[in-house]
Structure 1
């Protein structure tokens, strides 16, 4: 959206000006003006008052150009410095360049409102596609948010792409590019169980977070397949941080003596696990096996080299762009699941006798 043309010498009023005057976010102003998303009565009143005071009017010409694009693809992530996101971003950038598009990167630091604002701004900029990368929360409010994103972008001639996040519904106009998350966790847990491990700690549980929910599902399913009852006290909640892996491992060692393997929710967490075991004098893999998930490049540089689940990061990024930009072609699917596999290295062995 854009404000109507102002007289010469006067700055044109924008939706950002309205948001600042009302003391709300840009997406909130957009919700009020579009009238297709629930907004609190008091908030709606503040926004409409700011609209009147600033004499803001949505530009009908800009809306008529909703089908026009700016030859850009937007990539929205939690934190671009995280290896998981950085390598997917590389795939997005490579494919965007091949398709003659520029690539814009937006970071949210995990703030849902910032995610909404980024999508709204990219819609206003007529981006060809807006790619949300990484897991989200399963709450109904978040599902509705994604549905709202998808419909707004579709109306503007753009496309919402969920990369590494499940579909919010069959009737939602979005492109879904997933990887076999639960299958990777199942394969890894099965690998440990087949070697004889029976007490396998899982570090990094985040209730309701889609990425972790699927990995825990695979972990549990493998135990069921091997007819082993998982110990619920070995599923430990935590963040995707190296520091968490370190502290959680120290706590685990102080509490338990029967654990023979640790499944870290990500490779970054696994790096912290290995550090804690080394500081505690626990040999890997002779006394404790350690595995991770993601297969980022640093796993080869850890000591010992980490056994982990490989995710096709760059292929995820390239596929997300390709499917979104060619969505009108009948042979191009709009929901794909890419495979994962175990990368076996030096951090796993049978449990000590």
Structure 2
């Protein structure tokens, strides 16, 4: 039979009210009494009624984490970091996977609100569509009014919203990456972007175009095709570039997964990387350094950023930075997949 609150109180030699205070953590209890109650809880393997406590306290011991695709290492790394920080604070993290759907993101926000989360963490770039931003802002306002904290990790707060933000330097990292490719002598550089209407897509494409502009090159020097951040879409994008970007000596790609797809497509069609076409990615996912050739990319401190977001969401760390924004810098990693353009025209389209 499951132990009750009264059983714990009897074992610890305190009142049931004192046990409740220890469980809820919302009233002062002496260290010695807290230790006795905690020992009794462990000895009796007591499992509390979390929904009932959440109803009484107007919040739960759960943090909701919304990700676009938990199978994507970009989000898997962040989900793991958030989960560890939640556990360190005695909280449970619930991971909600939207599969990249703005509608699913709003659905999970509503569901998490209904469960009286301690806090909600929104990860990734998210949709830039005005209607989606307005709906997100309204739900964040509702959450904050109900006492649920909201932290944004990897995206700016919607207009009119004040909330802690962990910001990755997507624009600056993309600008540094394209500058590196340009510095090696490339002038015909194709680009594989993420999905249109997406915050991360926009920031990284802006950085890429800024580097081209600094070099006196316009958009005509950089054909752009879009993928969905998956490896398969990178493969398809490379096939499209073979058709529309004949003569390009380099391909800059908005994330590592798509870059690996681009390399696979080029290899399948007899195009050598980097001897004929250089390829660069973004994120520095674990597979990037093990690719053949090793992928030139931009490293974002994903795990560190996620852990900071987790501590802020759990209330273990205040965010005192100006504007409640913690800026996470990007780092260029030059590896073997980008080299100076080879002699003669690359084999685009493939021979």
- Both proteins in one fold, TM over 0.5: yes
Q: How does 1:122-161 map to 2 (within 5 A)?
A: 122-161=112-151
TM-score (norm 2): 0.77
Partner of 2:302: 313
Tell me the CA shift for residue 145 of structure 1: 1.4
Q: How does 1:140-289 map to 2 (within 5 A)?
A: 140-169=130-159, 171-231=160-220, 234-289=223-278
Q: How does 1:98-117 map to 2 (within 5 A)?
A: 98-117=88-107
Q: Unaligned stretches of 5+ in structure 2?
A: 1-51, 344-351
Distance (Å, rounded) in 1 between the aligned partners of 2:115 and 2:149 = 13
SS in 1 for 2:281: strand
TM-score (norm 1): 0.77
Q: Unaligned stretches of 5+ in structure 1?
A: 1-61
SS in 2 for 1:236: strand
Distance (Å, rounded) in 2 between the aligned partners of 1:250 and 1:113 = 30
In the alignment, is the contact (CA less than 8 A) between 1:70 and 1:128 conserved in 2? yes
Distance (Å, rounded) in 2 between the aligned partners of 1:97 and 1:327 = 12
Distance (Å, rounded) in 1 between the aligned partners of 2:56 and 2:140 = 15
Matched residue count? 291
Tell me the CA shift for residue 240 of structure 1: 1.5
Measured against aligned partners, the alpha-carbon deviations of 1:55-94 in whole angstroms (never above 9, x if no partner) come to xxxxxxx9x9585322111111122111110001111012
Cα root mean square deviation, aligned? 2.3
In the alignment, is the contact (CA less than 8 A) between 1:154 and 1:173 conserved in 2? no
Q: Which moved more, 1:339-348 or 1:246-255?
A: 246-255
In the alignment, is the contact (CA less than 8 A) between 1:270 and 1:290 conserved in 2? yes
Distance (Å, rounded) in 1 between the aligned partners of 2:241 and 2:216 = 24
Distance (Å, rounded) in 2 between the aligned partners of 1:152 and 1:105 = 20
Rg larger for: 2
